[in-house]
């Protein structure tokens, strides 16, 4: 990965900050978020790295990351963040940038197995489509 | 004591037993509970961004409807509805711009006034766990139960203000009041995977397996929950989880099911 001034000055940071209402430069990389994340083992970029990549404007790496679809927004990380950064909001902003693009939906009703459609509570189905589709 | 009540979609379908046992126990405890007329889905999730106001229309409609009917406390059961309503209320109280947009669109004048509570809070604060203990007819003696909180009741800390976010105790106090043995284990607030069970089942199954195995190793015979999605994940993914394969299946109950048993009102 290459860090350049072009990337750092890209509009990804301002877009993420505008959508999320969070200041990504506030993160000082203590990694407390990553330490407490219950699904970190399934992520390719860890929560504290998401913030670092955003600070450096590494848009391609972030927007192609599995992490965006693995975060369950449990909010363990932001309840512990010493800098008051709401990390799930930053991840949601990145997800929204993808979902808002044409054909950006991550989940379609046809993708759901019959057993899920039959047994899952409405709360789960509505939540999943709120997070994974527009 | 009188309350208005918001069930939410899941309580009328997949989680009917949660509603039934709540209404049975509420009657036995002398609580008058009436359902808000013409409520609609809360949206299931509070929007985590600064731009989308539409997801707030639905919860505000139901809250404004509750306010129009009565000024009683609004009782919720589903942890998702409780989370969305409390956060929506806070936004409607604190953010003038959002309040104006939502109220203009809905032609309402809602300012976040409705006092939203969870049934657990009614038991703790309005009845009192000491009084509840006296009303128990069949103590759940010898039953080893692990409390599972999940995320939505507790987080975000400032907005929910429900219990200690790292080490909550309301379920433990409840279990003691109904005479059960509390199983302590380190995963009681660890996320079950939430909606990942819809699209990334393996990830959620691993999270579920860790919770259940920890509860089992610490002596649990069963778990209690307050959230239909937690219950679904813990039950449905238990079978899929390699982590949980090494021990017998653990039943998962809504806390109200055990309360109905203790009060001997289960129909």
pLDDT at B71 over 90: no
A72 and B193 within 8 Å at the Cβ level: the answer is: yes
Of B165, B195, B199, the CB nearest to A79: B165
Mean pLDDT of A102-110: 91
CATH number at residue A28: 1.10.1060.10
Regarding whether A89 and A118 lie in a shared domain, the answer is: no
Query: Tokens standing for A72?
Result: 């369950």
Regarding whether A111 and A97 lie in a shared domain, the answer is: no
Using left for φ > 0, alpha for ψ between -120 and 50, and beta otherwise, residue A108 falls in beta
Give the confidence band of B65 by pLDDT, cuts at 50, 70, 90.
very high
Regarding whether A35 and A57 lie in a shared domain, the answer is: yes
Question: What's the structural domain count of chain A?
Answer: 2
Distance CA A14, CA A62 (A): 15
Which residues on B lie below 8 Å from A120 (Cβ)? 14, 197-198, 232, 236
pLDDT at B229 over 90: yes
Query: Tokens standing for B72?
Result: 């009683």
Chain B closest-CA separation from residue A9 CA (Å): 23
Q: How many CA atoms lie within 13 A of B103 on its CB side?
A: 16
- Tens of pLDDT, residues A11-59: 888 999 999 999 999 999 999 999 999 999 999 999 999 999 999 999 9
- pLDDT given for residue B69 in this prediction: 85
Regarding whether A96 and A67 lie in a shared domain, the answer is: yes
Regarding whether A85 and A116 lie in a shared domain, the answer is: no
Torsion of CA A109, A113, A115, A118, to 10 degrees: 10
- Tens of pLDDT, residues B164-188: 999 999 999 999 999 999 999 999 9
Question: What chain A residue is nearest to B234 in terms of C-alpha separation?
Answer: A120
Please check whether residue B56 is in contact with residue B102, taking contact to mean a CB–CB distance below 8 angstroms: yes
For the entire predicted model, the pTM comes to 0.96
Give the confidence band of B156 by pLDDT, cuts at 50, 70, 90.
very high
A72 and B191 within 8 Å at the Cβ level: the answer is: yes
- Tens of pLDDT, residues B230-254: 999 999 999 888 888 889 999 999 9
Sign for the CA dihedral angle at B119, B121, B122, B127 comes to: positive
- pLDDT given for residue B49 in this prediction: 95
Give the confidence band of B43 by pLDDT, cuts at 50, 70, 90.
very high
Please check whether residue B46 is in contact with residue B88, taking contact to mean a CB–CB distance below 8 angstroms: yes
Regarding whether A88 and A46 lie in a shared domain, the answer is: yes
Regarding whether A124 and A88 lie in a shared domain, the answer is: no
Regarding whether A73 and A119 lie in a shared domain, the answer is: no
Mean pLDDT of B71-97: 97
Regarding whether A65 and A37 lie in a shared domain, the answer is: yes
Sole residue written with tokens 């993708």: A111
Domain, as residue range, for A130 = 107-134
User: Is the ipTM value over 0.85, yes or no?
Assistant: yes
Top residue of A37, A121, A129, A131 to mutate, by most chain B CBs within 10 Å, is: A121
Chain A closest-CA separation from residue B195 CA (Å): 5
Regarding whether A68 and A19 lie in a shared domain, the answer is: yes
Mean pLDDT of B178-203: 96
Of B155, B166, B229, the CB nearest to A124: B229
Chain B closest-CA separation from residue A82 CA (Å): 13
Mean pLDDT of B2-7: 96
Regarding whether A97 and A57 lie in a shared domain, the answer is: yes
Give the confidence band of B220 by pLDDT, cuts at 50, 70, 90.
very high
- Tens of pLDDT, residues A76-102: 999 999 999 999 999 999 999 999 988
Of B8, B155, B198, the CB nearest to A124: B198
Query: Tokens standing for B55?
Result: 């997801």
Regarding whether A112 and A92 lie in a shared domain, the answer is: no
Please check whether residue B164 is in contact with residue B202, taking contact to mean a CB–CB distance below 8 angstroms: no
Phi, psi of B224 (to 5 degrees): -115, 150
- Tens of pLDDT, residues B90-125: 999 999 999 999 999 999 999 999 999 999 999 999
Please check whether residue B232 is in contact with residue B197, taking contact to mean a CB–CB distance below 8 angstroms: yes
Percent of chain B with pLDDT over 70: 100
- Structural domains of chain B in order of their starting residue, each with its CATH number: 2-119 (1.20.1050.140), 129-263 (3.40.50.11810)
Distance CA B216, CA B214 (A): 5
Q: How many CA atoms lie within 13 A of A65 on its CB side?
A: 27
DSSP letters, B250-265, are PPEEEHHHHHHHHHT-
Mean pLDDT of A62-67: 96
Chain A closest-CA separation from residue B83 CA (Å): 12
- pLDDT given for residue B70 in this prediction: 85
């Amino acid at each position: 990965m290459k860090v350049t001034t072009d990337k750092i000055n890209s509009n990804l940071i301002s877009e993420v900050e505008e959508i999320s209402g969070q200041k990504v430069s506030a993160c000082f990389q203590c990694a407390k978020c990553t330490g407490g994340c219950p699904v970190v083992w399934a992520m390719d970029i860890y929560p504290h790295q998401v913030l670092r990549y955003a600070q450096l404007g590494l848009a391609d790496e972030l927007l192609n990351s599995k992490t965006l679809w693995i975060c369950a927004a449990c909010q363990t990380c932001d309840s512990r963040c010493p800098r008051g950064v709401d990390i799930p909001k930053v991840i949601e902003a990145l997800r929204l940038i993808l979902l808002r693009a044409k054909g950006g939906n991550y989940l379609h009703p046809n993708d759901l197995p019959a057993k899920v459609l039959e047994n899952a509570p409405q709360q789960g189905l509505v939540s999943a489509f709120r997070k994974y589709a527009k | 004591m009188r309350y208005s009540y918001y069930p939410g979609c899941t309580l009328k379908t997949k989680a009917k037993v949660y509603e039934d046992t709540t209404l049975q126990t509420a009657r036995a405890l002398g609580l008058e509970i009436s359902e808000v007329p013409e409520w609609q889905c809360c949206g299931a999730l509070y929007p985590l961004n600064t731009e989308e106001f539409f997801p707030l229309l639905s919860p505000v409609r139901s809250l404004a409807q509750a306010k129009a009917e009565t000024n009683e406390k609004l009782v919720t059961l589903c942890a998702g509805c409780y989370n969305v309503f409390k956060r929506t209320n806070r936004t409607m109280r604190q953010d003038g711009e959002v309040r104006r947009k939502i109220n203009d669109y809905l032609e309402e004048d809602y300012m976040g006034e409705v006092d939203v509570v969870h049934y657990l809070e009614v038991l703790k604060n309005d009845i009192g766990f000491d009084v509840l203990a006296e009303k128990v007819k069949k103590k759940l003696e010898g039953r080893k139960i692990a409390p599972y909180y999940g995320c939505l009741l507790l987080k975000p800390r400032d907005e929910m203000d429900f219990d200690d976010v790292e080490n909550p105790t309301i379920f433990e106090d409840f279990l003691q009041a109904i005479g059960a043995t509390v199983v302590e284990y380190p995963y009681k607030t660890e996320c079950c995977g939430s909606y990942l069970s819809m699209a990334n089942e393996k990830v959620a199954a691993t999270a579920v397996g860790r919770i259940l195995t920890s509860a089992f190793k610490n002596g649990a015979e069963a778990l209690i929950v307050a959230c239909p999605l937690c219950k679904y994940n813990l039950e449905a993914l238990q079978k899929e989880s390699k982590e949980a394969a090494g021990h017998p299946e653990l039943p998962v109950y809504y806390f109200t099911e055990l309360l109905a048993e203790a009060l001997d009102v289960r129909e």
